Amino acid sequence: MRLDVVLRVVVKLLLPFILVFGFFVQFHGEISPGGGFQAGVIVGAGLILYAIMFGLDLAMRVVSVRAVEKLVCLGVLLYMGTGFAGMLLGGNFLDYNVLSYDPIKGQHLGIILIELGVLFTVAGTMVAIFYAFAGREK
Amino acid sequence: MEAFINMVLLTMMAASVVALVRMRNLFAVVILFSVYSFLMASVLVVLDAPDVAMTEAAVGSGVSTVLFLAALYLTKTEEAQPRHSPLLPMFVAVVVGAALVYGTYDMPPFGAADTPVNTHVGAQYPGRTPAEIDIPNVVSAVLASYRGFDTLGEVLVVFTAAIGVLLLLRRNKRRPGDASEEAGPDRAGMED
Amino acid sequence: MNGLVSSILEHYNQWVTIFLMVAGLYVVVARGNMVKKLVGLSVFQTSVYLLYISPGKILGGTAPILIDDPNAVYSNPLPHVLILTAIVVGLATIALGLGLVVRINEVYGTVEEDEIFERSDDE
């Protein structure tokens, strides 16, 4: 196990940057290439990298299985909740124009909420699937 | 120049797929698939799709390789010699391929702007986005706003797949207070 | 001769797409190992990305991210949206397939199709 010391140090150095890049892709996604799907996969890949290098037990102490499962559900609920919020405010399902006093502002708010929902679901799904595979022994 | 880089990358992809089909060592197959996915991401950058390329680079050569390797660890890494002759599948593949290639002669040429694909609804989005949504990335605008219902469906598919994998593979042994891990309820039904 | 060169240039993307698709189909049908079948299925899926994205490309155009140049030509954003979501969904379905393979391996002790059919015939 001690032979992979280079990998461990490099991963420790890179991990914050991977996560920050993931969130950059998420929140800068309206201006540059990016969005919830890409950011979710990058954040999920960062957590999977941590789990591969430092072991499943440590990774599960950082992000527990239950937290990941709740994250998956939270994303879908946030997405559908945004849709129903549009209905409650007098528009159609997933109509963002009514979310704010100004239709353009409403669109921006709606897109940010939707992309957050996608981020939660996709990142949670990636990590949950990896935990499920890695938790089985031969 | 664009078209030339595109053709070189596509040729490299085709070559890696030929090697992938012929190989029997599944470990090598998975690594080659990762290389193939990375080439695909490069092609997508050349084809003006940076959003898709970013996803393909992270998914194809990152996460899916990890999942394939995990599955190989749990199964075995060498493929057995097939017992059936590959002639019939080869025949089917060649016939399907020939029919599809015949069909391409009626398709519009690569890179043209006046094709049906590029003149209807897809071409309207860059013009409408500044007035209606006002964000520079048209792909994000279409994904989240114009086609939000579509994306909701995709998110639900991902959610369903996560539930499916958890139902198939999860063991509840890591819960505190649950000592009998081998006689869990999900194993009893599968093994008799 | 000139016609051949121009038709290669015009249809090269489509032909490579078809080749990848057919290669994936061949692996799925001809090979008995289930992990290999899933790799073939992934190759088939990725060929569909190419099938959608390459007609949307306009030579001399730029990525559909709006810039200040009024004469800019943008490639078609619609296929990008469809394929962006398809990639993540594709990974999720492949993961589900791999989960099934792992369970099959636990019950039968093999992931080769022929051996599994033999087992079921014996019973």
Give B7-55 pLDDT, tens digit per residue: 999 999 999 999 999 988 999 999 999 999 999 999 999 998 999 999 9
Q: How many CA atoms lie within 13 A of B190 on its CB side?
A: 17
Question: Phi/psi of residue C65, each to 5°?
Answer: -120, 115
**For C64, which residue in chain A has the nearest alpha carbon?**
A33
List the Cα angle B5/A26/B164 in 5-degree steps: 90
Distance in Å, alpha carbon of C55 to nearest chain A alpha carbon = 20
Residue of C34, C38, C80 to mutate for B, most B C-beta atoms under 10 A: C80
Closest Cα to residue B10, out of A16, C13, A15? C13
- Please give the full DSSP string across chain A, using - where no structure is assigned: -GGGHHHHHHHHHHHHHHHHHHHHHHHTTTTSS--HHHHHHHHHHHHHHHHHHH-HHHHHHHS-HHHHHHHHHHHHHHHHHHHHHHHHTTS-TT--GGGSSSHHHHHHHHHHHHHHHHHHHHHHHHHHHHHHHHT---
State whether C65 and A33 contact (CB < 8 Å): yes
Helix, strand, coil abundance in chain B, percent, nearest 5 = 70, 0, 25
Whether B101 contacts chain C with CB within 8 A: yes
pLDDT at residue number B185: 45
Distance in Å, alpha carbon of C91 to nearest chain A alpha carbon = 9
Give B87-103 pLDDT, tens digit per residue: 898 999 999 999 999 99
User: Is ipTM strictly over 0.95?
Assistant: no
Is the pLDDT score of C123 beyond 70?
no
Residue of C28, C37, C41, C66 to mutate for B, most B C-beta atoms under 10 A: C66
Chain A residues with CB under 8 Å of C38 CB are none
Chain B residues with CB under 8 Å of A19 CB are none
| Single pTM value for the model | 0.88
Domains of chain C: 2-122 (1.10.287.3510)
Query: What is the identity of the amino acid at B66?
Result: V
| C73 Cβ contact partners less than 8 Å away, ≥ 6 residues apart | B113, C58, C60, C61, C62
Q: How confident is the model at residue B187 (pLDDT cuts 50, 70, 90)?
A: very low
Closest Cα to residue B169, out of B29, B69, B71? B71
Q: Measure the CA–CA gap between A40 and A79, rounded to whole angstroms.
A: 14
Closest Cα to residue A30, out of B152, C87, B134, C85? B134
**For A42, which residue in chain C has the nearest alpha carbon?**
C88
Give A34-92 pLDDT, tens digit per residue: 888 999 999 999 999 999 888 888 888 989 989 999 999 999 999 999 999 988 988 88
pLDDT at residue number B94: 93
**Domain at B1-79: CATH architecture:** Up-down Bundle (1.20)
Residue of C53, C83, C88, C101 to mutate for A, most A C-beta atoms under 10 A: C88
Q: How confident is the model at residue B183 (pLDDT cuts 50, 70, 90)?
A: very low
Chain C residues with CB under 8 Å of A42 CB are none
Interface B:C, Cβ pairs < 8 A:
276
State whether B152 and A129 contact (CB < 8 Å): no
Is the pLDDT score of A21 beyond 90?
yes
| B55 Cβ contact partners less than 8 Å away, ≥ 6 residues apart | A37, A38, A41, C84, C87, C88
Chain C residues with CB under 8 Å of A122 CB are 88
* Range of the structural domain that residue A8 is part of: 2-134
Q: Measure the CA–CA gap between A7 and A15, rounded to whole angstroms.
A: 12
* Residues paired with residue C62 on neighbouring β-strands, in sequence order: C74
Distance in Å, alpha carbon of C73 to nearest chain A alpha carbon = 17
Chain B residues with CB under 8 Å of A125 CB are 158-159, 161-162
Domain-by-domain residue ranges, chain B?
Answer: 1-79, 123-175
**Domain total of chain A:** 1
Q: Would you tell me which residues 31-50 of chain C have a C-beta closer than 8 angstroms to some C-beta of chain B?
A: 31-33, 35-36, 38-40, 42-43, 46, 49-50
Tokens of C58: 């306009």
